[in-house]
Amino acid sequence: MGGKVYLVGAGPGDPELITVKGRLCLQRADVVVYDRLVDERLLKEAPSHAERIFVGKAVGFHPISQEEIHQILLRKAREGKIVVRLKGGDPFVLGRGGEEAIFLIQHGIPFEIVPGVSSFYAVPAYAGIPVTFRGVSASFAVFTGHRASHGSESMSSFDPLFSGIDTIVILMGLSNLESIVNQLVRMGRSPFTPVAVITHGTTPQQRCVTGTLQNILDRVKSEALQPPSIIIIGEVVQFRDSLRWFDK
């Protein structure tokens, strides 16, 4: 009998936010291939005999390449095993899940995508920040913060788009916060636009610092925030004080 791969979103951090289907996949897994930001308590959902393979990566630290991850999925599936590729957030939101799915197609491996709760809206929600709010924000966009330091792929290439977006959500942008702030101001955003930076969202280690484009860099430095983080830019950040619930 041939194997199969399930590309499963583990959610944004809180292990209770995994979907019912994601948990069921884990419970029948022979192999779990998991990322750095996956709460390891989820691994207990897999059977005791299941092999657990850590393939975590961080910025500037890639002990296992993406190609090696592909080969692990291929090898285990060809052994006839049920493989759960457990990825933080949602596998198709800045998680390279699409690349892994294409690789599996190319090698004739059956697979399923199990969407997860994405950090881009769940983490702000845990901080009391809605990404939309009637009369305040009718639109939002999600970007990777890595673009802010990549020349022609910088955020400035989205200049026309930014002018019409009420709420901007930036994932993995903490190390490029200064560049992001400077580019947004150059694009015409008011220096007094509210900003929130949330680290370790939905977990007991969650921290949130708020300010404006003018002062958020200093505030983040003074609090010594560390990745993983999400940056929220827009008037919805003002709801933080009244809607915060998790950190109370």
* Mean pLDDT per 10-residue interval, the chain, length 248 residues: 92 97 98 95 97 82 86 98 97 94 98 97 98 97 73 52 84 93 91 97 97 97 94 97 94
State the catalytic residue, choosing from 21, 57, 166, 187. Answer: 57
Note whether 192 and 207 are same-domain residues: yes
Range of the domain at 81: 4-114
In a domain, 216, yes or no: yes
- Give yes or no: residues 239 and 123 share one domain: yes
Which CATH number belongs to the domain containing residue 51 in this structure? 3.40.1010.10
Q: Do 56 and 25 share a structural domain?
A: yes
Is residue 57 domain-shared with residue 90, that is, in the same domain? yes
Out of 14, 30, 35, 90, pick the active-site residue.
35
Q: Are residues 140 and 232 in the same domain?
A: yes
The single residue of 14, 39, 76, 172 carrying the catalytic annotation is: 172
Active site residue 90: no
Query: Are 20 and 67 in a shared domain?
Result: yes
Cα separations in angstroms, 133 against 102, 121, 233 = 37, 13, 14
Residue 238: count other Cβ atoms within 10 Å of its Cβ.
15
Do 221 and 127 lie in one domain? The reply is yes
43 in a structural domain: yes
Same-domain pairing of 76 and 152: no
∠ at Cα 95 (91, 96), nearest 5°?
Answer: 100
pLDDT of residue 62: 62
Clarify whether 57 is annotated catalytic.
yes
- pTM for this prediction: 0.89
Same domain, 91 and 127: no
Q: Are residues 129 and 236 in the same domain?
A: yes
- Residue 248: inside a domain, yes or no? no
Q: Do 152 and 232 fall into the same domain?
A: yes
Q: What is the pLDDT of residue 160?
A: 55
When divided into structural domains, the chain yields a total of 2
Catalytic status, residue 76: no
Six-digit token pair at 191? Answer: 């220096």
